[in-house]
A and B are shown apart, each in its own frame.
Chain A
C-alpha cells in the first residue's frame, strides 16, 4: 500500500513503499524514525531522505562511493554487535550532504554515514581513519588524489 504525503518541498508525493526506511534509533539530532529515499532527479547524484513524520523535513544524501573511491565503513565492536551486521550482509551506504551556493563548498559527512539494509537504516559513527565530518565533495581544483576515505 502506498502512502501519500504533503511535502513542503515537493508538494504531494506518493511514497513507494519500496523506498521507505525505518530508523529504529532515528537520525542524530533529528526527529522521526520513518523516512523515504526519494530520487527526484534520476540524473543527479543526490537523493532526499524525506521524513514521513514531518513533511517539512528532508535531508540531502548521496552515495559516497561516487565521490570518494577509497571510502569504507568500519564499525566499532559495540555497533557491529548491536546492529547484527556481518560481512555477508548487503548494505547500502549514504552520507548526508551539506549543500552550498558554490559547488566546491559542498561537503559530505563521512564520519556518520547511514547504513541501509532490509528496510532499516542506522546512522553510525564510522571508525575508518580519515573519515571527516565535512569532506569536500568536489576536488577538481586539487590535483592531489583524495585520501583513502
Chain B
C-alpha cells in the first residue's frame, strides 16, 4: 500500500480526475473531501462490506427451490 503523509488542506490526486482532500483533523477523526466524476461510486468501506455480505448470503440459499414459507407467514 502506498503511504502518503498529508496535512489538512492538502490533496492527493488519483488518476486524471479524482481529488481527495484532507479537510480537517480533530482527535481521532479525519474529514475527507472527495471530488470525483459521477461515474465513480464512493462508499464507506464498512457499508460496502456489509452489502457485499448480504448479497453473498442471498446467493447462498441452497437448492433450486425458493425458500418455503408456512401459510401464516406469507407476505400480504
Binding site for B on A (CB under 8 A): 9-11, 25, 27-30, 40-41, 44-48, 57-62, 66-67, 78, 81-82, 96-99, 103-104, 106, 109, 111-112, 123, 125, 133-134, 137-138, 140
* Chain B residue contacts of A111, Cβ below 8 A: 47, 50-51
Query: Does B9 have its Cβ within 8 Å of any Cβ on chain A?
Result: no
Query: Does B73 have its Cβ within 8 Å of any Cβ on chain A?
Result: yes
Contacting pair B70 A133 (CB below 8 A): no
Q: Categorize the interface residue count of chain B.
A: 20 to 34
The verdict on A27 contacting B50 (CB below 8 Å), with A106-B67, A137-B75 known, is: no
Contacting pair B67 A99 (CB below 8 A): yes
* Chain A residue contacts of B57, Cβ below 8 A: 96, 98-99
Separation of A138 and B55 alpha carbons in the complex (Å): 19
Label chain A's interface by main secondary structure.
loop
Q: Please encode chain B, from 47 to 76, with 1 for each CB lying within 8 Å of some chain A CB and 0 for all others.
A: 111111111111111011111011011111
Contacting pair B51 A140 (CB below 8 A): no
* Chain A residue contacts of B66, Cβ below 8 A: 40-41, 44, 46-48, 60
Residue of A nearest to B53 (CB): A29
From A45, A47, A81, A137, contact of B38 by CB (8 A): A81
Q: Please encode chain B, from 2 to 18, with 1 for each CB lying within 8 Å of some chain A CB and 0 for all others.
A: 00000000000000000
* Chain A residue contacts of B72, Cβ below 8 A: 140
* Chain A residue contacts of B64, Cβ below 8 A: 9-11, 40
Separation of A140 and B72 alpha carbons in the complex (Å): 8
Whole-angstrom distance from the CB of B37 to the nearest CB of chain A?
Answer: 9
